[in-house]
Structures are given as structure tokens and as C-alpha cells.
Homo-oligomer: A and B are copies of this chain.
Amino acid sequence: MSLTSRDRFARALAAETVDRPPVWMMRQAGRTLPEYRALREKHTFWEVCRTPELAAEVTCQPMDRFPLDAAVIFSDILTVPDIMGLEVKIDDGLSLSPVVRDREGVETLRVPDTRKELAYVGEAIRLVRERLGPDRAILGFAGAPYTISSYMVEGGSSRHYAAVKSLILRDPTLARALLDRVAAVVTDLLKLQLDAGADAVQLFDSWAGELSVQDFNSLCLPVLRRIVEDLDGAPVIYYVNGIGNLLEAAAATGATVLGIDWRVDLQTVRERLGEATVVQGNLDPATLMADTETIQTRTRKMLEETGGRGHIANLGHGLLPDTPLTGIEAFVAAVTEWRHS
């Protein structure tokens, strides 16, 4: 079977037979690569995000270096609060202001013209397609509504999420209104990426795994389900960090693929959700700090858990900041050299 990367990716999304799982890495664009760091000497994070040529350049850097099957567009989930009127500072510690904690805060959020204001993301995808040609997959992404809303309520990262959880408990209707407003922007952002040529989109839910199953089901699930429906069958990968407690709920979103974090075995996922579930993941990104043999043994073990069927090989979370290039090479090679037994 001789497949292009893009065919392989499309087949894996559809749970069809492939020679071996396609491979990409969350956070592969940016962060660890020396050529990215060199570019960041000259440009701020936001400049890179907002300039299609620079975003495309950073998106393609890992594609030039490693035999990855899919590129993921360089962007940030905080482009959404940015166009909704919050000031988002990233470079010296994350902060968003003003925080959104009451009815007035929600009602005075800007209703942006997402397709116009985030047109640069679509433009970057078109440039990436030109550079990569037709044979490799391109992924768009957005933050999931709960995660984006958390940042907006907390004003940044948080340890306990007390502010957003308080809001949910004290005024669930207002919390839902906030998520709905965010979801409308997220949906438009995902659509514009698909229209620009993305083969699939990933919804990143960094913080929803901190919720109880009850709160996830009542607050997050309906809005996620609606986003998936609004994309009319386009392939959606839903990643929630801490999916182990939320497997059934995550499956109920209707997403094409579930991104699995490293804390739960892929075998367990298949046992609980059935063999037909397409999964993405899930090597602990810290594994890439180890020696080549350990990385490859663990990667192969992960592939054996699904037998390579309905599986997009990836890490269980984003690439860690100080990952050595040799670790990335070892991981990618272990996947590309693997074949069905």
C-alpha cells in the first residue's frame, strides 16, 4: 500500500485500513525548534500569529525537519478572546483583561466578524498548502469554549479554577451564555480554516478535565455537540486533557476522533467506547526526554494497543518546551517504521 500522508490521514479519520498510523505532534509548530527560536528573536508571538507568511513559515518548520503526516497551523487559542475585546498579553506571563465575571462582562463582549478579523489564519493555511503541496494533511484548530471561557474568567492560567467554577455554580445560565458567545466565534474560526483547505480541525480543551462529569455534561457537552453539528460532517478531533473520566461524554460530542491524554491506556479507551472509536495520541510527552530505545519501545507499545487501526499517532499532550530534537526524531521514526503485524 503506497499512500500519501494526506491519504493516510484521511483514511485514519475514517477508520479505514492504513499501512501505519499517520503521525503529528500537538505543539509541533514552534516552541522547541531552533529555527523557531531564531525567528522569535525578531518577532513577537502575536506578530508571528497574525502575519500569514510568518505563521506559515513556523507551521512548515517541523514538516521540513521530520517526516510528519500532518501540519498544524501555528496559532493560539487566545485569538478568540482577543477579537472578543479582551487584551491578551502572552510574552511576559499570560494575562487577559478585563476579566469576565458578571452579566455586564458577558453582555459587553465584542461580537466580532470572525471570518474577517481572523482571516490571517485562513491565509496562513493557504500559504502552507502552497508550500507543502497536495500530499500532506493540514490541520486547523481552536480552543474549546470552556477552556477559552476559563481564561476569560480567571484572567489567565489558574491552579484551582475557583473563579470560573464559582461562576458556573452561582449563575449557570450566565456561564452558558458566555460559552455560547465563545462557541459562535470558535465555530466561525473552524469553518474559515476548513474553507481555507484544512483537512480536519482540532478542538483543544485544556481545562474541561478539571470539571466533574456532572458539570461537563451540563455545561460543555451541549455546546461541543452543537459545534460539531455546525461543521456539517467535517472531521473534528476533540482533545480534552484528563479524558479518562470523561470518555463517554467526549464520545457523545459526536467528534470524529478523540484525542487521548497519556494518563489513560488506549486499550482502556477501546474497551470502554468500542473498537470503532477513532483515537489520537497518546505517548506521555515527557517520554521524549528519554533515550532512543525507551522512546521507541514505548511508542511501539502504544501502537500495539490499537493495532494501528483507527489511530492517529501523537503525544498525549503538547510537546514539552525542552524536548531534544533527537527525542522527536526517535518518536516519529518509531511510528513511520511500524507496520501491522
Contact = CB atoms under 8 A, between A and B. Distances in A.
Given A162-B322, A320-B162, A263 B289 contact: no
Contacts of A322: 162
Contacts of A262: 212
Contacts of A287: 165, 169
B169 A263 contact: no
A143 B327 CA distance: 32
Nearest to A317: B160
Interface string A247-286: 0000000000000001111001000000000000000111
Interface residues on A, range: 20 to 34
A289 B322 CA distance: 38
Given A160-B320, A242-B242, A166 B263 contact: no
Given A211-B263, A262-B212, A264-B213, A286 B160 contact: yes
Given A162-B322, A169-B294, A263 B242 contact: yes
Interface string A148-170: 00000000000011100110011
A170 B212 contact: no
Nearest to A295: B169
Contacts of A166: 286, 289-290
Contacts of A211: 263
Nearest to A167: B289
Interface in A63-80: none
Interface string A197-210: 00000000000011
A244 interface: yes
A254 to B, nearest CB: 22
A245 interface: yes
A180 to B, nearest CB: 21
Interface in A289-329: 289-291, 294, 320, 322
A270 to B, nearest CB: 14
Interface of A: 160-162, 165-166, 169-170, 209-215, 242, 244-245, 262-265, 268, 284-287, 289-291, 294, 320, 322
24 contacts: A160-B320, A161-B286, A162-B286, A162-B322, A165-B284, A165-B286, A165-B289, A166-B286, A166-B289, A169-B286, A169-B290, A170-B290, A170-B291, A170-B294, A209-B263, A210-B263, A212-B263, A212-B265, A212-B284, A213-B265, A213-B268, A215-B284, A242-B263, A245-B268
